Structure 1
Amino acid sequence: MARFNIRAARAQPTSRITSTGRVLRTYEGGRGHERDPRSELFLLAVSNFVSQRTFYETGADRDDRFAALVRELAVTDPSWTAGLLGWLRGEGNLRTASIVGAVEYVKARLDAGVTDGPANRQVVSSVLQRPDEPGELLAYWTSAYGRSVPKPVKRGLADAVRRLYHGKALLKYDTASRGYRFGDLLNLVHAAPHPDKPWQGDLFQYALDRRHNPDTAVPPASNSVLMAHRELMVLPVEQRRAVVTAPGGGERLAAAGMTWEALAGWLQGPMDKAAWEAVIPSMGAMALVRNLRNFDEAGVSDEVAAQVAARISDPDQVARSRQFPFRYLTAHQHAPSLRWSYPLERALGHSLANVPALPGRTLVLVDRSGSMFYSRLSDRSELNRADAAAVFGTALALRAADADLVEFGTGSNEVRFRTGESVLKVLGRFGDLGGTDTAAAVLRHYRKHDRVLIVTDEQYVHSHHGDPTEQVPPHVPVYTWNLAGYRAGHSPSGRGNRHTFGGLTDAAFRMVSLLERGEDGLWPWLE
Structure 2
Amino acid sequence: MARFNTKAAKARGTSRVASTGRVLRTHEGGRGVERDPRSELFLLSIANFVAQKTFYEDGEARDDRFAALVRQLAVTDPSWTAALLGWLRGEGNLRTASIVGAAEYVKARLDAGVTDGPANRQVVASVLRRPDEPGELLAYWTSRYGRALPKPVKRGVADAVRRLYGAKALLKYDTGSKGYRFGDVLNLVHAAPDPDKPWQGELFRYALDRRHNPDTAVPPAADRVLTAHRELMAVPVAERRAIVTSEGGAGRLAAAGMTWEALAGWLQGPMDAAAWEAVIPSMGAMALVRNLRNFDEAGVSDEVASRVAEKISDPAEVARSRQFPFRYLAAYQHAPSLRWAYPLERALGHSLANVPVLGGRTLVLVDRSGSMFFSRLSDRSALTWADAAAVFGTAIALRAADADLVEFGSGSDVVSFRRGESVLKVLERFGDLGGTNTSEAVRRHYKKHDRVLIVTDEQAGYSGHGDPASQVPADVPVYTWNLAGYRAGHAPSGGRNRHTFGGLSDAAFRMVPLLEGARDAEWPWVG
What TM-score do the two structures reach when normalised by structure 1? 0.99
**Which residue of structure 1 aligns with residue 300 of structure 2?**
300
Q: Measure how far apart 1:222 and its partner are.
A: 1.2
3-state SS of the aligned residue for 1:455? strand
* In structure 1, distance between residues paired with 2:371 and 2:508: 23
Could you tell me how far 1:195 is from its partner in structure 2?
A: 1.8
Q: Secondary structure at the match of 2:206?
A: helix
Match runs of 1:452-491 below 5 Å: 452-491=452-491
1:18-52: CA deviation from partner (whole Å, max 9, x where unpaired):
00000000010110000000000000000011011
Q: Which residue of 2 aligns with 1:286?
A: 286
- Give the corresponding residue for 2:176: 176
Alignment of 1:380-399 (within 5 A): 380-399=380-399
Distance 2:300 2:426 in 1: 30
Q: Is 1:94 matched with 2:101?
A: no
Q: Deviations over 1:346-391 (max 9, x none)?
A: 1111111110001111000000000000001011111001110000
Q: Which secondary structure state, in structure 2, belongs to the residue aligned with residue 526 of structure 1?
A: coil
Deviation per CA, 1:432-453, whole angstroms, max 9, x where unpaired? 1110110001011111111000
- Post-superposition offset of 1:345: 0.8
Matched residues in 2 for 1:183 and 1:228: separation? Answer: 21
Cα distance, 1:8 vs structure 2: 2.1
Read off the aligned partner of 2:23 and give its amino acid letter.
Answer: V
CA drift at 1:3: 4.0
Corresponding residue of 2:263: 263
Q: Which amino acid in structure 2 is aligned with residue 150 of structure 1?
A: P
* Partner in structure 1 of residue 72 of structure 2: 72
Mapped partners of 2:516, 2:450: distance in 1? 11
Map Cα deviations across residues 210-249 of structure 1 (whole Å, 9 max, x no partner).
1111111100011100000000111111111111011110
Q: Once the two structures are superposed, what CA deviation does each residue of 1:100-159 show, in whole Å capped at 9, x if it has no partner?
A: 000000000000000000000000000000000000000000001000000000000000
Secondary structure of the corresponding residue to residue 358 of structure 1: coil
Matched residues in 1 for 2:81 and 2:264: separation? Answer: 43
Give the residue type in structure 2 aligned to 1:371: S
DSSP-derived class of the 1:362 partner? strand
Distance in 1 between the 2:250 and 2:294 partners? 18
Matches within 5 A, 1:113-152: 113-152=113-152
For residue 187 of structure 1, report the CA deviation from its aligned partner. Answer: 1.0
After superposition, give the CA deviation of every residue in 1:228-278 in whole Å (9 maximum; x if it has no partner): 000011111111111101111010001001100011111111111111110
Give the drift of 1:9.
2.5
What secondary structure is seen at the aligned counterpart in 2 of 1:474?
Answer: coil
AA aligned opposite 1:262: A
SS in 2 for 1:485: coil
Name the amino acid aligned to 1:309.
A
One-letter identity of the residue aligned with 2:201:
G
Q: CA deviation at 1:5?
A: 4.1
Residue 251 in structure 1 maps to residue 251 in structure 2: yes
What is the CA-CA distance between 1:178 and the residue it aligns to?
0.6
Deviations 1:436-487 (A, max 9, x none): 1100010111111110000000000101111110010000000000000000
Q: For residue 493 of structure 1, what is the aligned residue in structure 2? A: 493
Corresponding residue number in structure 2 for 1:337: 337
1:287-314 Cα distance to aligned partner (Å, 9 max, x none): 1011111111110111001111111111
Structure 2, unmatched stretches of 5+, are none
Structure 2 counterpart of 1:275, one-letter code = A
Residue 402 of structure 1 corresponds to which residue in structure 2? Answer: 402
Structure 1 residue runs of 5 or longer lacking an equivalent are none
- 1:344, 1:132 → 2: CA distance? 29
Summarize deviations over 1:480-522 as a string: whole Å, max 9, x none: 0000000000000001100000101101101101011110010
Q: Give the whole-Å Cα distance in 2 for the aligned partners of 1:9 and 1:348.
A: 40
Structure 1 equivalent of residue 438 of structure 2: 438
Q: Give 1:275's aligned residue.
A: 275
Aligned position for 1:366: 366
1:196 deviates by 1.5
1:166-245 correspondence to structure 2 within 5 Å: 166-245=166-245
User: Structure 2 matches for 1:407-418, cutoff 5 A?
Assistant: 407-418=407-418
Aligned to 1:57: 57
Report the equivalent of 1:350.
Answer: 350
Q: Secondary structure of the equivalent of 1:365?
A: strand
**Where does residue 162 of structure 1 map in the other structure?**
162
Deviation, 1:2, is 4.7
In 2: Cα distance, 1:348 partner to 1:302 partner:
22
Name segments (4+ residues, structure 1) moved above 4 Å.
none
Give 1:411's aligned amino acid. G
Which SS does the other structure have where 2:404 is aligned? strand
Q: Does 1:153 find its partner at 2:153?
A: yes
Q: Distance in 2 between matches of 1:329 and 1:441?
A: 26
Pair 1:25 & 2:15 matched: no
Q: 1:285 deviation in Å?
A: 0.5
Amino acid aligned to 2:99: I
Instruction: Name the SS of the counterpart of 1:501 in structure 2.
Output: strand
Q: CA deviation at 1:177?
A: 0.9
Report SS of the residue matched to 1:524: coil
Q: Measure the CA separation in 1 of the matches of 2:175 and 2:380.
A: 21
Give TM-score, length-normalised by structure 2: 0.99
- AA partner of residue 510 (structure 1): R
- In the aligned structure 1, how far is the partner of 2:8 from the partner of 2:226? 70
1:7 Cα offset (Å) = 3.4
Q: Residue 416 of structure 1: SS of its match in structure 2?
A: coil
Shift of 1:189: 1.5
1:10 Cα deviation (Å)? 2.8
